[in-house]
């Protein structure tokens, strides 16, 4: 698998030098749409309508961010940054903007529209005059790539994306789009003792290294000793961070591993959000409450005094974007703590 991926990247590099950045990415995007089988939902209709029903007024065209289960959409952070980037593009180009997030749950049950009425019903999706567009690599210019995928023949463009093209503007865009629902507000109220800036946040992202978090095909460590060593290293780092910040009343710990979280909560100052951690792309539940924990953690990190992500070099724990983006929402200093 690693060899195939390396070969693919070599071929992409050669293509960049021979065909140029734009043509290379356009080829990758077309291939990506085929690999994701999106054409079967759109292609024949696109062929039938591409020379008819032309839309000349750009203010009647709509970008719809799609999380409808036709393909994997990424984790929570991937989706939120993809949404923010698509909204930013729509604003710059005078396009309408909507979010169709139904997989695996309705997003507005947890995050409601704020300044922008982005909710769209399935009945409002114009399948007869829409086109799928895809963005999925951050090493290309995604704004230009999106511009090249738009045309005057369609009223809607269904955007499948998890890329970030807005950087430091993410917090502003997030707040324009979202406000917590009553469900999220009630969940956050359970942690009222975590008053803003009186606590720190430390995040651990193990994927399946400890064998207790399902996320696709990630392997667990092959012996109990290695698992124990990783947990011990993580707890030592947690102790070190807490000792460097005696002013913190509490330490919010977020982790995808139940075993690691159980160990962390033995620390006197540690607070964790109740519930089971799940990956939004790999959990089959359609119930919003089963995904609420991650949103609560995201909002709580945004109000911390400082946020850390633990990274174990030996076992190459995942450098998650989750705490970084959550911290950016509240202008919270963020740091990766490696050992």
Cα angle for residues 80, 83, 89 (degrees, 5° grid) = 140
Is the predicted pLDDT of residue 42 greater than 80, yes or no? Answer: no
Residue 309, C-beta contacts closer than 8 angstroms, at least 6 positions apart:
202, 203, 204, 205, 319, 320, 323, 324, 334, 335, 336, 337
Is the predicted pLDDT of residue 292 greater than 60, yes or no? Answer: yes
Half-sphere exposure of 111 (CA within 13 A, CB side): 24
Q: Say what angle helices 170-177 and 76-92 make with each other, to 10 degrees.
A: 90
Distance, in Å, from the CA atom of 195 to the CA atom of 192, rounded to the nearest integer, reads 6
Query: Which pLDDT value is given to residue 6?
Result: 92
Average pLDDT over residues 221-234: 96
Which pair of tokens denotes residue 194? Answer: 């975590």
Query: Which pLDDT value is given to residue 51?
Result: 44
Tell me the per-residue pLDDT of 253-280, one tens digit each, with 9 for 90 and over: 999 999 999 999 999 999 999 999 999 9
Is the predicted pLDDT of residue 58 greater than 90, yes or no? Answer: no
pTM, two decimals, is 0.93
Tell me the per-residue pLDDT of 149-197, one tens digit each, with 9 for 90 and over: 999 999 999 999 999 999 999 999 999 999 999 999 999 999 999 999 9
Q: Where are the alpha helices (DSSP H) in 20-138?
A: 21-35, 39-49, 76-92
Question: CA-CA distances (angstroms) from residue 82 to 14, 202, 265?
Answer: 28, 25, 33
Which pair of tokens denotes residue 58? Answer: 């750009």
DSSP reduced 3-state for 331: coil
Asked which of 49-53, 93-97, 100-104, 289-293 is least confident by mean pLDDT, the reply is: 49-53
Please state, rounded to an integer, the average pLDDT across all residues of the chain: 93
């Amino acid at each position: 698998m690693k060899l195939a991926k390396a070969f693919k990247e070599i071929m992409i590099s050669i293509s960049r030098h021979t065909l140029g950045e734009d043509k290379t990415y356009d080829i990758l995007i077309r291939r990506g749409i085929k690999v994701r089988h999106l054409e079967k939902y759109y292609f024949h209709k696109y062929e039938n309508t591409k020379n008819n029903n032309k839309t000349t007024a750009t203010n009647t065209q709509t970008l719809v961010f799609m999380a409808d289960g036709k393909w994997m959409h990424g984790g929570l952070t991937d989706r939120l940054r993809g949404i923010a980037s698509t909204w930013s593009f729509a604003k710059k180009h005078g396009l309408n903007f909507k979010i169709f997030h139904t997989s695996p749950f309705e997003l507005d049950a947890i995050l409601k529209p704020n300044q922008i009425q982005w909710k769209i019903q399935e009945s409002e999706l114009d399948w007869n005059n829409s086109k799928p567009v895809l963005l999925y690599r951050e090493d290309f210019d995604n704004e230009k790539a999106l511009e090249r995928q738009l045309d005057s023949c369609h009223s809607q463009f269904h955007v499948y994306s998890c890329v970030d093209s807005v950087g430091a503007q993410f917090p502003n865009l997030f707040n324009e789009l979202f406000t917590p629902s009553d469900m999220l507000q009630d969940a956050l109220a359970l942690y009222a003792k975590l008053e803003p800036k009186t606590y720190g946040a430390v995040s651990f992202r193990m994927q399946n290294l400890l064998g207790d978090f399902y996320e696709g095909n990630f392997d667990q460590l092959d012996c109990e000793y290695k698992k124990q060593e990783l947990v011990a290293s993580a707890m030592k780092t947690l102790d070190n961070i807490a000792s460097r910040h005696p002013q913190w009343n509490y330490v919010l710990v977020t982790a995808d591993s139940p075993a690691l979280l159980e160990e962390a909560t033995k620390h006197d100052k540690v607070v964790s959000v109740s519930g089971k951690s799940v990956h939004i792309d790999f959990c089959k539940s359609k119930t919003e409450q089963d995904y609420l924990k991650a949103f609560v953690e995201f909002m709580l990190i945004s109000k911390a005094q400082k946020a850390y992500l633990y990274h174990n070099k030996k076992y190459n724990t995942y450098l998650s974007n989750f705490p970084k983006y959550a911290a950016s929402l509240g202008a919270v200093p963020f740091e990766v703590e490696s050992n």
